[in-house]
Amino acid sequence: MKKIILFLLIIFCSCNKEKVKEIRKETLNDTSKEIPEEASYFKQIKNNDVKLGEPVYGDWLYTRKEKGQTFDQYFRSKHIVPTSDANIIYIRPIGNFNALQKKQIELLNEYLEIYFQLKTKTLDPISNDVVPNSARRMNYGHEQLLAGYLLNDVLKEEKPLNRIALMGLSELDLYPKPEWNYVFGLASYRDKVGVSSIYRLQDGELTSENFDLCLSRLLKISSHEIGHMFGLHHCINANCVMNGTNSMEETDRHSIRLCSVCQRKLNSCIAYDNKKRLTDLEKYFKKNNLKDEFGLMKKDLEIIR
């Protein structure tokens, strides 16, 4: 009888350990945890935050009255954190990419690894043929794929090793439903899976002349969407990569930089070295001739030295 009780106790403890481990994957903090004191790093770079101006017609916030998200709200919210078995960000190219586009995907992989300070891997491309005719259409002379099909029937089925987030990247334009002209991308933040298109980032065609601008757009949109997967909401206070956008023009106006509050949120989740991340970003932007982006990182580094 004692052996049976001991056996049941072992099973009960094991199950509870697994349950705690599973909860830890989905939840960074509970409401009983004390909010950590703001580190001097975030207080210093706050001086470089640029307050958002009043939205004008066509802007994201003109018709959307978002409440934003404080650091305290983020800290106490449920969101994923890296663990030993979930710590790699994956990019899945979809379609046929030319040499310039492949170069941008390589640079995106490098950027996301620096931005999130997590291992990032690019999977082999998959063919557009995975999408049936019922989930594709012609619109104003170019082909579009149904974003929801790629998200739900293709990407959600993929389980690469130690995946914490998966971003599909389509070369073709996307649409969310028949009555919509297009969509930049679609994501399931619960499943930590998203899909975006490079089609509209390229102003018709990616060339050596518009390469830097298109790369900046790709870095912004990808880091924004994956930021959502880590639980960050839209930023409504400062010019920040987590600002919501309605158009490519608005995306171009918004900063690639995370504001001080959003940086604090991400750092509380991933727990990287803030100065190392900033230095890595400065070197990346300088190497790739992204002058405005380099200037932002340099300005932050100067204020913390």
Hey, where are the domains in the chain?
Answer: 29-76+231-305
Across-strand partners of 167? 91, 194
Enter the tokens of residue 251: 């995306």
CA 122, CA 293: separation in Å to the nearest integer?
Answer: 24
What would the pLDDT profile of 280-302 be if each residue is shown by its tens digit?
999 999 999 999 999 999 999 99
CA contacts within 13 A on the Cβ side of 163: 21
Which residues have C-beta within 8 Å of that of residue 264, sequence separation ≥ 6?
38, 39, 42, 71
CB 12 within 8 A of CB 6: no
Q: Give residues with Cβ within 8 angstroms of 119, minimum separation 6.
A: 87, 88, 89, 113
Average pLDDT, the chain: 90
Question: Residues 39-53: what's their mean pLDDT?
Answer: 96
The answer to whether 75 and 28 are in contact (CB under 8 A) is yes
**If 0-12 CB within 10 Å is exposed, 13-18 middle and 19+ buried, where does residue 11 land?**
exposed
Torsion sign (Cα): 138, 144, 147, 151: positive
AA identity, residue 49: D
> In angstroms, how far apart are the furthest CA atoms of the chain?
79
**54 carries an active-site annotation:** no
The span from the CA of 162 to the CA of 274, in Å, is 24
Please write the tens of the pLDDT for every residue from 61-97. Answer: 999 989 999 999 999 999 999 999 999 999 999 999 9
Instruction: Decide the pairing of beta strands 163-170 and 88-94.
Output: parallel
Task: Assign 90 to helix, strand or coil.
Answer: strand
Name the β-bridge partners of 278: none
Q: Which residue has the higher pLDDT, 104 or 183?
A: 104
**Strand, coil or helix: what is 163?**
strand
**Of 71, 70, 65, 128, residue with least CA distance to 95:** 128
Catalytic member of 22, 26, 38, 225 = 225
What percentage of the chain has pLDDT greater than the value 70? 90
Mean pLDDT of 226-246: 95
Q: How confident is the model at residue 33 (pLDDT cuts 50, 70, 90)?
A: confident
pLDDT tens digits, 151-206: 999 999 999 999 999 999 999 999 999 999 998 888 998 899 999 999 999 988 99
Give mean pLDDT, residues 96-118: 98
Of 131, 114, 112, 130, nearest to 122 (Cα)? 112
SS3 172: coil
